[in-house]
Amino acid sequence: MYSACVPGTSDLGERPGAMAATGPAESVGFTLAQLGLETARRFGEVVGALGLEPRHFALLRAVGGAEGQSQQVIAEYLQIPASTMVAIVDHLELESLLERRLHPTDRRTRTLHLTAGGKTVLAEAMTLAMGLEDQICAGFEPAQRDRLLAMLRQVAGNLDVSLAALPDAGGHRPAHV
């Protein structure tokens, strides 16, 4: 993890120090990079209380929002290679938070589904995430927070960052239909 050098980046896990401080406070870019890093780090701590790592949460959330999708589709959405996907799914399946099921027509494909426990843990994680959100936005009036979000969305647009969720399997039809 050295993305921290921000605006270099860096990935953080629950690993200790990242190269963090880097930018002038007058720059939106530096500030965003630094806040993003710290936000991610805090989130890791928060979901860590549930025994989850950020990547596990990310997968639970993706599956929760797109029940029945294939591993491949979800891996592409999360922008991780197939081999990494296998490891994460293995981990969560071992903890009985999600399960692989056979695809109804294609026996090569595995579809992913949350278990009851997975839904519970995901809900708990979302609750904790909302608590962090409140901490992040402390002192903001609702209208101010909305303005901040609107500006951040504009920045996302400027950077071609998609904030969209993955449609569930039912929404996906073969192109030729």
Partner DNA sequence: TATTGTTATACTCTATAACTATA
Partner DNA sequence: TATAGTTATAGAGTATAACAATA
With binding defined as CB under 7 A, does residue 67 bind DNA? no
Residue 97 CA to chain centroid, in angstroms? 16
Q: What DSSP state is assigned to residue 96?
A: T
At a CB cut-off of 8 Å and minimum separation 6, what does 100 contact?
Answer: 71, 89, 93, 110, 111, 112
Which one, 106 or 146, has the nearer CB to DNA?
Answer: 106
Which of a second copy, DNA, none has residue 108 at its interface (CB below 5 to 8 Å by kind)? DNA
Distance CA 69, CA 63 (A): 7
Binding partner of residue 101 among a second copy, DNA, none, CB under 5 to 8 Å per kind? none
Question: Site mask, DNA, residues 35-64, x = CB under 7 A?
Answer: ------------------x-x---------
Print burial letters for 13-28: b (CB count within 10 Å at least 16), e (below 16): eeeeebebeebeeeee
Interacting partner of 129 out of DNA, a second copy, none (Cβ under 5 to 8 A depending on kind): a second copy
- Asked if 19 is part of the footprint of DNA (rule: CB under 7 A), the reply reads yes
Q: Is the C-alpha dihedral spanning 138, 152, 80, 41 positive or negative?
A: negative
Q: Which is nearer to DNA, 110 or 172 (CB)?
A: 110
> What residue 163 binds from DNA, a second copy, none (CB within 5 to 8 A, per partner kind)?
a second copy
Q: Hey, which residues between 90 and 109 contact DNA (CB under 7 A)?
A: 90, 100, 105-109
71 contact, one of a second copy, DNA, none, CB 5-8 Å limit per kind: DNA
User: Contact, 102 vs 110, CB < 8 A?
Assistant: yes
Alpha-carbon radius of gyration of the chain? 18
Give residue 112's identity as a one-letter amino acid code: L
Q: Which residues bind DNA (CB under 7 A)?
A: 1-2, 10-11, 13, 15-19, 53, 55, 70-72, 75, 80-87, 89-90, 100, 105-111
